[in-house]
Amino acid sequence: MTMGIKPRKRASGALGWGAASGAMAALVAVLGAVLGAALAPPAAAGEADDLARVARVLEHMPLIDGHNDLPWELRVRFKGRLSGIDLAADTSKIAPPPGEAALMSDIPRLRAGRVGGQFWSVWVPYDLKGPEAVELTIEQIDLVKRMAAKYPADFEMAYTAADVRRIHHAGRIAALIGIEGGHQIDHSLGVLRQMYALGARYMTLTHMRNTEWADSATEAPAHHGLTAFGVEVVREMNRLGMLVDLSHVSPETMRSALAVSEAPVIFSHSSARALVDHPRDVPDDILRLVAKNGGVVMVNFYSAYISAARNQWDADRAAETARYSSPPSGGLYIGQPERAKAALDRWDSEHPRPVATLAQVADHIEHVREVAGIDHVGLGSDFDGIPDAPQGLENVARFPALLAELMHRGWSNGEVAQLAGENVLRVMAGAEQTAFRLRGLAPSEAALESAPPP
């Protein structure tokens, strides 16, 4: 009911017909408004309708998430031993390590989130180099395959777009593998080919640091894009049918890879830089190049990438941390951890951390759509690789709420289906078709020190 409508004071003297008629019309209008508000369906009913539409869409179209870091969390928290955790139960109830978030993924919540395909990241730390990084990557690939084997009613390994559709149709979740960093192939095309043979279907060209052949978004440029060997890496990925992932790389590397790649590329977990000026997000000029390439930007859910206020808060807090203690010689309380911690605790209490929201993620999705087009946007949550998630998108069970928000904003069922999975399936199929076209080429024998110029 509309509240706060005050009755008018009655004017002195008799009312003429025109005045009475006007007063009656006004009264009818007010009563109509009140009655209409009373009879209107509650907001919850509208949300339920949108969720029902989402459910219908996802019956036919697999929701594919471009990035989830659960495999690394399983390694760190359970030493990679699946006997130590039941993924068929609610893992959020497992006490996390101090300072860490509770797990965001498990089978019941994947089912509740209507996830139909999941790219599992087989990331290893970027400070690992050489054979150690390769070995650990293979172990993480093995972990993903063991997950699928342990829960065959829920997971099945997928290697093609057709596999994903078939597995979804069978009522299971397609398990896909993504390598998150070029350091994981030890600058060897032979290792790259064997990673593909083991099941990896995308590789992020860098992580947080540059490789010897490509610049990261979060380190000072060393190459200003791709080196000659980096160009050969992209070409060999095209030949294999492995998706080139440009999340984490610098804008110069993005442009270099887009200029070279014959297949559609992906950003497996990146948001829109026009909304939040974070180097992990994608500038508008790159979004337009992605549209020309036919690729897809899968929007990240990390709070600092989707909330400008949170991004600023993180930077301010990092500065405060450095002000209090910057080993080996800087900071007000260097060598005094208790005083440094107390000072930072005071700052935290005076500067509450901004809360990012589901609606802000929807804003990034809509921006990518506006600039690149509806054919070039997808979902790349980064769940279990982020310290916290937006309000309303706390874990993998919450995907339908995001899609319902977009429906509430006017998205059609077909547009939501494109976002959820059709776009990335098209890109996967495009990479497969490029590999088929290039099947007559011999495997590249380029090496880091002898790669030919582009």
Question: Which residues are marked as active site?
Answer: 67, 69, 180, 207, 248, 269, 382
CA distances from 420 to 61, 114, 202, 362, 414 (A): 7, 10, 18, 13, 10
Look at phi and psi of residue 227 and say left if phi exceeds 0, alpha if psi is from -120 to 50, else beta.
Answer: beta
Dmax over CA atoms of the chain, in Å, equals: 101
114 token code pair: 């209507």
Helices marked H in 40-129: 43-60, 70-78, 107-112
**Contact in structure between 271 and 281 (CB atoms under 8 Å):** yes
Among 335, 359, 333, 358, which residue's Cα sits nearest to residue 346?
333
Q: Which residues of 109-133 are buried (b: 16+ CB within 10 A; e: fewer)?
A: bbeebbbbbbbbbbbbebebeeeeb
Give the other-Cβ count within 10 Å of 358's Cβ: 20
Position of tokens 């002898």? 450
